[in-house]
Amino acid sequence: MNKINIPQNTPLISYETLLEQFKQLLKKNNLKFTKQREVILSTLYNHEGHFTPEEIYQIIKSENPDLNTGIATIYRTLSLLENANIATSISFGTQGKKYELGVKAHHDHIICTKCGKILEFFDESIEKKQEKIAKSLGFKMEDHIMKIFGICPECQENK
């Protein structure tokens, strides 16, 4: 039986290194480094999971009540982070996107279509099969995204 690993969400780089990359990204895009933007980055870094911009806004509000961070700043910063591969997202169509830190070990996702729960997993046999498929079609695989959609056990029970 093949063992499926649930990955730990440990980032592959230190926060200090990520922060320096972020400052360089802002400079390259002629944007100012602000406390608000830093808090958005640190929120993604320090919280495990997948978050909508609105959920990130609520976390920031609860943890930094004196910091005035607008939702538009969160959307713009997340877009910038995603374009730089510092953050990644899973799209839910008209329901928007959920973001996570993009500098973690590779993993795939299984998503509940009822409640939106997202679980991460890693399966070595799936990874090898994908590489074999790419090679058989003449491709040198550089990256991939795998999403499995279904109904989680809790939603199955709560028909």
109 is in an annotated binding site: no
Do 105 and 13 contact (CB within 8 A), yes or no? no
Residues 6+ apart with CB under 8 A from 119: 6, 109, 110, 111, 152
What's the Cα-to-Cα distance from 70 to each of 51, 58, 61, 73, 145, rounded to whole Å?
16, 11, 10, 5, 31
Helix (H, G, I), strand (E, B) or coil at 136: helix
127 is in an annotated binding site: yes
108 is in an annotated binding site: yes
115 is in an annotated binding site: yes
Name 99's bridge partners: 51, 89
Residues 6+ apart with CB under 8 A from 31: 37, 80
112 is in an annotated binding site: yes
Residues 6+ apart with CB under 8 A from 29: 80
38 is in an annotated binding site: no
155 is in an annotated binding site: yes
Which residues carry a binding-site annotation for Zn(2+)? 112, 115, 152, 155
Which residues carry a binding-site annotation? 106, 108, 112, 115, 127, 144, 152, 155
Which residues carry a binding-site annotation for Fe cation? 106, 108, 127, 144
